[in-house]
Structure 1
Amino acid sequence: MSFRSLVLTNFNEFAVEDRSLAKLEGDNALIKILATAICGSDIHGANGSTGRRFPDQVMGHEACGIVEKVSAADDSKLVGKRVVINPLISCHRCDLCLIGKEHVCRSRKVIGVTKGVDGAFAQYVIAPSRNLAVISEEVSPTLATTVEPLSVGFHAVIRAGLVKGDKVLIIGGGPIGQAIGLACIRVGVGDFVISEPAEFKRRYISKYDFRSVPPTELSKIYENSTRPTVVFDAVGNMHSFSDAFNYSDVGARIILVGMDTPNLAIPSYEVSADERTILGSYCYTDKEFKDTATWLGLNIALVEPFISDVTTMAKAPEMFARFQEGSFEYNRVVIAQDE
């Protein structure tokens, strides 16, 4: 059996090609893809700058589809179900996996990211059955692709130990910053500000009724008020990391989620003397992913602003070219397949 896939043929070059279906074995499932979102990491990775995407690769790790086949009889109940795919494949045998930290498994692989593990910019993908979360059919396939970034935001909030009474600053108003804002609402913390320099992104953020401001206004906001007890850096460069310290209170927790820059200078005096805590946050546990799929089914209207554009696989190469040009204003773009 052959099926169509969007292939990164060379850096910044895509083509729709036919691929052969691998043998279904182990505890895996064959999923017919309905929709896959284009992550910011796909856009940056496509030019080779991150070292995390490769020529001849099928990317795509934020997907919704229907289970067509399973290889293990115990998983037969999944056949015909609409699911979202947790792209993080862990060994489930090591010490970390056994204590519920499978998201930092030392041998983890990511569908559509790890070399040799093709992703969901395709009509079909094979994934471990345990990585599938059934999602309400009231959630459209395009909106269902938000489960992955929403899980990233939720895990960051869990890492922060966010509680009612915390005052929050979110630096970076892209999809992950928005996902963190939605996670704040999810745990009952509504006192947050999103710092975002791009006016068009602030327009998208306003659809949630979240407060967003350019970074230049932060000094005025916190001039005569208590500074944030928790700061989420959803960018991860020298400017955003500096703002995290400049606008956080003493004893604050700073959660580094963004990965724009591989190395950052730490202002050690502001960490030690003011007892700030720096925490890293990467993906999510399997439970957080599945809980988020359930949560989305109950909060469809709240999350609907997340998706800005929908395209087809045939037009996806053109869409990636628009990303690289840098003039396209978007929030989240989804490649939709015919059901």
Structure 2
Amino acid sequence: MKALVWTPNDRLELQEVEEPQIKKMNDVKVRIYGTGICGTDLNVLKGKMQATHNMILGHESVGVVTETGPEVKNVKPGDRVVIDPTQFCGKCYYCRKGLTCYCETFEDWQLGLGAHGTFADYYVGEDRFMYKIPEDMEWERATLIEPLSCVLNVIERAAIKPDDSVLVLGSGPIGLLVQMMVKKLSRLTVATEVGDYRTEAAGLISDYVYHPQDLTVYEVRRINQGRKFDVVFDAIGNQLDWAYPLIDKGGRLVPMGFDDTYEMKIRPFQLLSNGVTIVGTGEARQIMEDAVSCAADMPQLSELITVKAPLENYEAAIHELMGIDPLSNERKDITAVKTILVSHPDMI
């Protein structure tokens, strides 16, 4: 079968690999419709995160069950499913406490990083990580269930209140999903974005959208009753230093985007005296069922899927999302929100 493999020379290559087969009593085989390109995938390519060599990348995936092991009860052949990539052993100290996102062998279980992912024709995994999706849900919307689960996890931990003012840094897919959910919960939702295309997308959701250079403390106070923000989400992953002057006393800073190269300088006295909390959420844990239910009532999610490309066209699709001109190495506007690499376009 075809698959996108992270090679030992740190390159992503389309290869012919052995098709996975049912091996365990609770295994499920899925014919993959498509997999969304995640910021995590892009950060692996940029060297900001690590993935195991010779591993199939990709993790935001949906497809149809083709075969199951004899002990599988929750899904059957023909069912349309979303795969939970935030997997875990279920046996270690943290898993037994329900803190599965802190699994002691977490890195070995994560699809597309430590275990084979879904930029491929087929995937085989355990039944406990398979969730049925409604028959009438479009594939496009379904591919956003996994990133939506990550957002729901973070929103819950951030404890948004009706009178909160919220800033979301970045208007990529995760940033836009945060804006969608925060808009339902908070008094004021503000976003930042540097690109024209995604600024326009954010403008359809948030109350205000700014280029970061234009969002001064003075401007924040002007639009927010003379105060700074109660909550700041960093959906980029390297902006908390920049955002700190914009957080109000008693506020919450919430890192989201994954960038293992970023470091933030912290002055504990300021945190103590101003009552500012940095909310570390960990990976989404056992919230996929909630995300499926939530997505069922959010048809607008499909609008975030702006590009669908065959798996074979991965290079062009990824370059478009990098935001860098490959010839001049200069920044360019990203003219997509979310891209799906489609393995089986015949699956309608």
User: Shared fold by TM > 0.5?
Assistant: yes
Worse overlay, 34-43 or 209-218? 209-218
**Partner residue, 2:163:** 165
Range that drifts further, 212-221 or 132-141 = 212-221
Which deviations, in whole Å up to 9, do the C-alpha atoms of 1:200-245 show, x marking residues without a partner?
Answer: 22122224355321122322432342221111122232xx212332
Structure 1, unpaired ranges of 5+? none
Q: Deviations over 1:73-109 (max 9, x none)?
A: 3426433211111101111123322332212212122
Deviation of 1:27 after TM superposition, in Å, equals 2.0
Shift in Å at residue 54 of structure 1? 4.0
Which residue is 2:29 aligned to?
30
Task: Measure, in 1, the Cα distance between the counterparts of 2:221 and 2:49.
Answer: 41
Match of 1:250 in 2: 249
CA distance in 2, matches of 1:231, 1:331: 21
Task: Tell me by how many angstroms 1:175 deviates.
Answer: 1.5
Q: Which AA in structure 2 matches 1:334?
A: I
Shift of 1:334: 0.2
- Name the residue aligned to 1:149: 147
Q: Report if aligned partners of 1:91, 1:105 keep a CA contact under 8 Å in 2.
A: yes
In 1, distance between residues paired with 2:278 and 2:128?
Answer: 32
2:214 aligned residue (177, 202, 217): 217
- Which residue identity lines up with residue 257 of structure 1 in the other structure? M
Which secondary structure does the structure 2 equivalent of 1:304 belong to? helix
Q: Aligned equivalents of 2:320 and 2:190: distance in 1?
A: 30
CA distance in 1, matches of 2:63, 2:148: 18
* CA–CA distance in structure 1, aligned partners of residues 59 and 41 of structure 2: 9
Letter in 1 for 2:275: E
Q: What is residue 233 of structure 1 aligned with on the other side?
A: 234
Match of 2:269 in 1: 269
Q: Which letter does structure 1 place at the counterpart of 2:210?
A: V
Structure 1 window deviating more from structure 2 (73-82 vs 188-197): it is 73-82
Structure-2 residue corresponding to 1:283: 283
Distance 1:322 1:235, change over 3 A: closer
In structure 2, the CA distance between the partners of 1:15 and 1:157, relative to structure 1 (3 Å rule), is same
- 2:336 pairs, out of 321, 330, 334, with 330
Task: Report the secondary structure of 1:133's partner residue.
Answer: strand
Match for 1:24: what amino acid?
K
Q: Which residue of 1 aligns with 2:302?
A: 304
CA contact 2:228–2:246 (8 Å) conserved in 1: yes
Q: Distance in 2 between matches of 1:45 and 1:306?
A: 23
Q: 2: CA distance between counterparts of 1:103 and 1:4?
A: 30
The SS at the match of 2:18 is strand
CA distance in 1: counterparts of 2:145 and 2:112, whole angstroms: 16
What's 1:191 paired with?
188
1:135 to 117, 133, 136: 133
TM-score normalised to the size of structure 2? 0.87
Instruction: Give the conservation status (yes or no) of the 8 Å contact 1:207–1:305.
Output: no
**CA contact under 8 A between 2:232 and 2:243: conserved in structure 1?**
yes
1:204–1:305 Cα contact (<8 Å) kept: no
Give me the whole-angstrom Cα distance separating, in 2, the residues matched to 1:223 and 1:320. 38
8 Å CA contact 2:151, 2:177 repeated in 1? yes
CA shift for structure 1 position 254: 1.1
Q: In terms of mean alpha carbon deviation, does 95-104 or 249-258 score higher?
A: 95-104
Distance in 1 (alpha carbons) for counterparts of 2:321 and 2:213: 26
**Rounded Cα–Cα distance in structure 1 between residues aligned with 2:283 and 2:168:** 17
**Is this contact kept in 2: 1:245–1:270, CA < 8 A?**
no
Q: Is the 8 A contact 2:235 2:257 kept in 1?
A: yes
Listed as ranges, the gaps of 5+ residues in structure 2 are 326-331
In structure 2, relative to structure 1, the CA distance for the partners of 1:170 and 1:209 (3 Å cut) is: closer
Q: What is the alpha-carbon distance in structure 2 between the residues aligned to residue 40 and residue 129 of structure 1?
A: 26
Q: Hey, what does 2:39 align to over in structure 1?
A: 40
The amino acid that maps onto 2:232 is V
Q: Is the 8 A contact 1:11 1:54 kept in 2?
A: no
Query: Deviations for 1:165-185, whole angstroms, at most 9, x for unmatched residues?
Result: 111111122222112112224
CA distance in 2, matches of 1:190, 1:61: 34
Does the 8 A contact of 1:8 with 1:15 survive in 2? no
Q: Which moved more, 1:196-205 or 1:142-151?
A: 196-205
CA distance in 2, matches of 1:183, 1:165: 15
Task: Point out the more displaced range, 212-221 or 270-279.
Answer: 212-221
- In the alignment, is residue 202 of structure 1 matched against residue 199 of structure 2? yes
In the alignment, is the contact (CA less than 8 A) between 2:164 and 2:186 conserved in 1?
Answer: yes
Asked whether the 8 Å contact 2:29–2:67 carries over to 1, the reply is yes
Q: Give, in whole Å, the separation in 1 of the partners of 2:207 and 2:271.
A: 29
Matched-pair contact (CA < 8 Å) for 1:36–1:142:
no
Rounded to whole Å, the distance in 1 between the matches of 2:317 and 2:169 is 27
Contact 2:163 / 2:187 at 8 angstroms: preserved in 1?
Answer: no
Q: Does the aligned pair in 1 maintain the 2:4–2:119 contact within 8 Å?
A: yes
Matched position secondary structure for 1:43: helix
Q: Aligned residue pairs: how many?
A: 329
Structure 1 Cα separation of the partners of residues 206 and 265 of structure 2: 34
